A and B are shown apart, each in its own frame.
Chain A
Amino acid sequence: MTEATTTIENKTGIHARPASLFVQTASKFKSKVQIKAKGKTVDAKSILMIMSMGLVKGTEITISADGPDEADAVSTLKELVDAKFNEE
């Protein structure tokens, strides 16, 4: 399993467009991908579950992946979050 921790920095947090972008990206990988935040862990390929976490700006999240392309999945998703979803 590969893990990486980062902080959400884009103004709008993860909802609507950022969430769908995150899910679309996560779904490209074969590995099981999860997000851990605020003491909860959810499936990163589910837009409902990600959005229901209410990840606003400043929340610390841990992205983890388990499977054949886990390293690539974690680094790609972390990059997406760190690039503020190319929003700003």
Chain B
Amino acid sequence: MADKIKGKGVISGIAVGTILLAGQNLDGYLVNYKPGKLDAEKKKAAAALVEVAEGMKKSIDDFNSKGLKEQAAILEAHRMIIEDPALSGAIDEKLNECGSAPKAVLDAAEVNAQIFESMEDEVFRGRAVDIRDVGKRIAKFLLGIKEPEIAGKVIVAGKEIEPSVIAGLPTDKIAGVILGAGSTTAHAVIIAKTRAIPTVVGVGKGIEQMADGDPAILDGGTGDILIRPSAEERASYDEKIKKQEELKAYYATLKTLPAKTLDGVEVDLVANIGSPADVDAANGFGAQGVGLFRSEFVFMGKTDVPKEEDQFKEYKAAVEKCNGNLCVIRTMDIGGDKPLPYIQVGAEENPFLGYRAIRISLKREDLFMPQLKAILRAGKFGKAAIMFPMVINVQEFLDAKAMVEKAKRELAAEGKDYSDDVQVGIMVETPAAAVMTPILAKYVDFFSIGTNDLVQYTLAVDRGNAQISYLYNHFNPAVLRLIKRTIESANKEGKWAGMCGEMASDPCAAILLMAMGIKELSMSAPSIPRVKEVIRKITSTEAKNILDKVMEMEDGDKIKDYLATLTF
């Protein structure tokens, strides 16, 4: 019999694979480690530092030759820590105390990490993770623990999973994801979503029942997890897996069909992406372009302001892959929660209400200008649009738009080719912007409703807080009214409105939004077939009737319940 664990299924699908624990605990290995004489241990530790640093040099060269500059830069920083005299000094000191090389390495890293963790500056604090990571790497080397070799498909499990862990594994190797923490909007989950990896969250201590290499089955629809299943239990999933394959085959037949209602109302279904490579996957699901290109990856992991030329290459690649469809690129949406060396935000009580996104861009021309120029130049290779995040008033948009015009003048003066036909719009993700859409619509080319933040800001609910997550509901009547207002404001001025938050991938929401007059729904690509299926099954009159009924209802939970009774 298997160990059964129940969590919350967030990305549906059945996954079969072996468990790969992220954030491995070394305690068990340490207990069994038999240290030699002090001198021998010191020599061993010193040799390990050299070996690990050498090994990293190879990986760094490898990353560099493949153009993976970010990964190379992170490893380079880790390598400098390994070669640091302060670390080897601390290891020697700790060895005198405990006599075990691997333990001394971990302790020394911990001491250094804590120094950084106690610092006021957020950027300094962030380095603590790197130092612990380095300590673990060396300790594993000393303990003879090899990085797990991935033979078949794995189910990545961890209390918390660093986004880099999932991003770093090849997609075809990851069958599923299990997260101890409860957030459905954790970055690891968002990445899993763009790749359609079945995922279960909120299993809490259930993680402790798993060991590396355990065979497991996961149902991302129900949240059921079976660890070490028997042959019968394994067989009981065969039917479900078969159905899953059939559904996949059916969805594939929808790929080239339009998202059009029975009476001919059409909505563009497009993709949210994080890098140009995601466009290929999105096209595979039948996306008709990109509604949200999160440009953050261009900024993350860099020690300097990203250059116009480097950004241009990335944007151009994404625009070209869209094959003439629109590619909406959101300008930098970073703040104090993701500190970067070249953006000094400082400690803030509320990074999500702080100095971030367009607020930084407008003050930092050195950051903003290269990005705008890069997008305008990429526009020459297809159809690009610029979207500003976090806007709360008309002036911010006008200031940002003036910068776009300035960027064009500079490009012209520099003799660089750019497109004059790049739409400029905003994310509607603050209640202030949603309320002001009748005015904003006079100036923008389009709105894209960012529901993750709009719901969070409107309801004053932190989406990551498990205690109040029951309040987070995109069908809340207040939220629905702001969305409706935004769409109607756009249509009234002859502009278009789309949506790029999680809500867009909810088939029930798609019906309501279509009835409100939305023109574009942007979502993680694997959700496209299901939304398209629903839209193709109804008429716009039916959708309108459902919307009328919903707008009369007074409670978000009741609206949710009502929509769940509809079958498509």
Which residues of A are in contact with B by a Cβ distance under 8 Å? 11-13, 15-17, 20, 23, 43, 45-49, 51-52, 54, 56, 87
A48 to B112, CA, bound (A): 8
The one of B84, B116, B121, B342 in contact with A56, judged by C-beta atoms closer than 8 angstroms, is B121
A48 touches B86 (CB 8 A): yes
Q: Which chain B positions have C-beta within 8 A of A43?
A: 85-86
Query: Total A-B residue pairs with C-beta atoms closer than 8 Å?
Result: 56
A52 touches B120 (CB 8 A): no
Can you identify 18 A-B contacts, CB atoms within 8 angstroms? A12-B123, A15-B123, A15-B127, A16-B123, A16-B303, A20-B80, A43-B86, A46-B85, A47-B84, A47-B86, A48-B81, A48-B86, A48-B112, A49-B86, A51-B127, A52-B86, A52-B112, A52-B115
CB distance from A9 to the nearest CB of B (A): 14
B81 touches A47 (CB 8 A): yes
Q: Which chain A positions have C-beta within 8 A of B121?
A: 13, 15, 54, 56
B-side binding surface: helix, strand, loop or mixed? Answer: helix
B123 touches A48 (CB 8 A): no
Which residues of B are in contact with A by a Cβ distance under 8 Å? 77, 80-81, 84-87, 112, 115-116, 119-121, 123-124, 127, 131, 303-304, 341-342, 344
Q: Which chain A positions have C-beta within 8 A of B124?
A: 15, 51, 54
CB distance from B345 to the nearest CB of A (A): 11
By beta carbon, the residue of chain A nearest B87 is: A48
A12 touches B341 (CB 8 A): yes
A25 to B448, CA, bound (A): 48
A12 touches B112 (CB 8 A): no
CB distance from A75 to the nearest CB of B (A): 23
CB distance from A44 to the nearest CB of B (A): 10
CB distance from A53 to the nearest CB of B (A): 10
Q: Which chain A positions have C-beta within 8 A of B304?
A: 17, 87
Q: A12-B123, A15-B341, A49-B84 are in contact. List 9 more A-B contacts (CB 8 A).
A: A11-B344, A16-B123, A20-B77, A20-B80, A23-B80, A43-B86, A48-B131, A52-B112, A54-B121
B116 touches A51 (CB 8 A): yes
5 nearest CB pairs, A to B: A17-B303, A16-B341, A48-B86, A46-B86, A49-B86
CB distance from A43 to the nearest CB of B (A): 6
A15 to B77, CA, bound (A): 12
A38 to B3, CA, bound (A): 56
A48 to B85, CA, bound (A): 9
By beta carbon, the residue of chain A nearest B109 is: A48
A16 to B124, CA, bound (A): 8
CB distance from B304 to the nearest CB of A (A): 6
A51 to B119, CA, bound (A): 10
Q: Which chain A positions have C-beta within 8 A of B86?
A: 43, 46-49, 52
A87 to B84, CA, bound (A): 24
A23 to B87, CA, bound (A): 14
A17 to B433, CA, bound (A): 37
Q: Which chain A positions have C-beta within 8 A of B341?
A: 12, 15-17
Q: Which chain A positions have C-beta within 8 A of B342?
A: 12, 87
B116 touches A12 (CB 8 A): no
A87 to B80, CA, bound (A): 21
A54 touches B120 (CB 8 A): yes
A87 to B121, CA, bound (A): 19
